[in-house]
Chain A
Amino acid sequence: MIDLFTIVMTAAGLIFFAAGTLGLIRFPDTHSRLHALTKADNLGLGLIALGLAVQVPGPADLFKLILIWALAILAAGATAQLVARIAAPAGLGDDEKAQDGGSDGQERRRP
């Protein structure tokens, strides 16, 4: 019964990851791509983590799993914000037809 739950959860997670990747390829501009990626992948990750949570032997490992999930969500959210702040206004990474002018992207030197 536990294994069935894990299989279902992991499968659902994979479907969301696939949806996110599909969004990355199909959507025209950076904003929508980021939107697809962050929504689908975070949900997918959550489902997989949940699926694995039942397999975990002890509470310590459960805490580690949650820590991994929290870190992944935190990093994904922060990175998506940064990419959006730099790329979107300057129209970087948009497909040619969806190019919109105006780049008030604030000058920021990466390390």
Chain B
Amino acid sequence: MTASALALALILTAPLFGALAAMLMGRRGPAIALATIIATAAGTLILLVIIATEGAVHLAIGGWEAPLGIQLRADGLAGGFIATTALVMGAILAVAAKPFAGGKTERRSAYTFWPLALLLWGALNAIFLSGDLFNLYVGLELLTLVAVALVGIEGKRETLAAALRYMMFALMGSLLYLLGAALLYAAHGTLDIALLAERVGSAPGDIVAAAAITGGLAAKTALFPFHAWLPPAHSGAPAPASAMLSGLVPKASFYILLRFWFEAAPDLAGSGVLMLLGGLGAFAMVYGSLLALHQDRLKLIIAYSTVAQLGYLFFIFPLAGGESAAQPWAAGAWSGAIFHALSHAMAKASMFLCAGLIIEAIGHDRLPGMKGIVRALPMTVFAFALAAITLMGLPPSGGFTAKYLMMTASFAAGQPFWALMLILAGLLAAAYLYRPLALAFALPDEDAPAPKAVSRARQFAPLALALAAILLGILSAAPFAFIQIGRPGAAVEGLE
């Protein structure tokens, strides 16, 4: 019974045990969530230490080696995502402890929120560790069902319509992914990512499978042509749920895309496909930013910002995918996109939590009502500003490190278009995030009702998340080296 086996067991099963216990004992959700946070955080720390010292951890579930059994693989990339998920989920569940507290009589939303949130965490951990395409499918399906339920948890007409729209896209996405996985197994006799890397050629079956998998996962990551469901869904859900939905859920399907294109079928992608993915990402970035500019509800601005920020995650494909994987700048572009994914998860979750606290204080999230909110909620507005810095990509935040890495890589690759897009993204983000901040510091009009007080302890959680996103930029050397561990073709000298 090695330490790595214990760590993996804790990370995989603690959230699931917590969810099942919360489903059994209706009113002790917050207490069970606290116990789950402690257990999973412990497992995460042990895993990070093991990966940092001994390199990537490999575990054959049930003792069955590939191609028969399911392989778990915890490399730097997986460790980074699991650590970020643990941090973000800890902050979210801390803030959610009050609105979804278990009172004397059991309330519907207070009962179902906790198992759903812990199932979401368990599904994320299962996806980040799995090395088998069908196991990723089951994890993704669990994640999607829980996310749809979280969108519809408030039961209003618009949120149910948003949840239904999300469900329709998600159903089609999982079917396409399933079709791809079925064709790959039929052709190669295995769905293990490491084995597929040796066996995937460019036969028509593999091309159709890759197209289906990419289409399915793009629908789940709300890449441009399939983004319509995201803004109403993420803004309709309650704030802690929106933080999970925007910060973590799309990262899981993006993570599977990375595993597929960079590890299962590294040289299958022609430059055309990679350019298409990058182009769609650029279009999503511009489209999301412009729409965020003229929303008048805070949560809708943040939701459209997610569409934009997810867009330029896809720049990783033209810069580091396909044949250019062996180029020196590929590691920089790859690491830049991962930094962006991690810092966006923290900053976006923090921003949605701040929006939740502001809604608790003034009762709604229409921008005009936010005038002078800084007097009532100084810590929250400060956290919102820090998160905005990360999203805009200003130094010293993690977002800046990500942009810097990707821009140097795009100049080194001779494709300055992506660098231009990154600069434009920063400017547009500054534009649409400036409006709420300006209103927060403006003078409140006299007749505005006094905002209700929100306890300081709960304001600390989004602040901690925003600070973590900034710290990711300041101490970026250690995380940069960490996510290189176990990366295929780790050409480290990309940073010069």
Instruction: Answer yes or no: A and B touching, Cβ < 8 Å.
Output: no
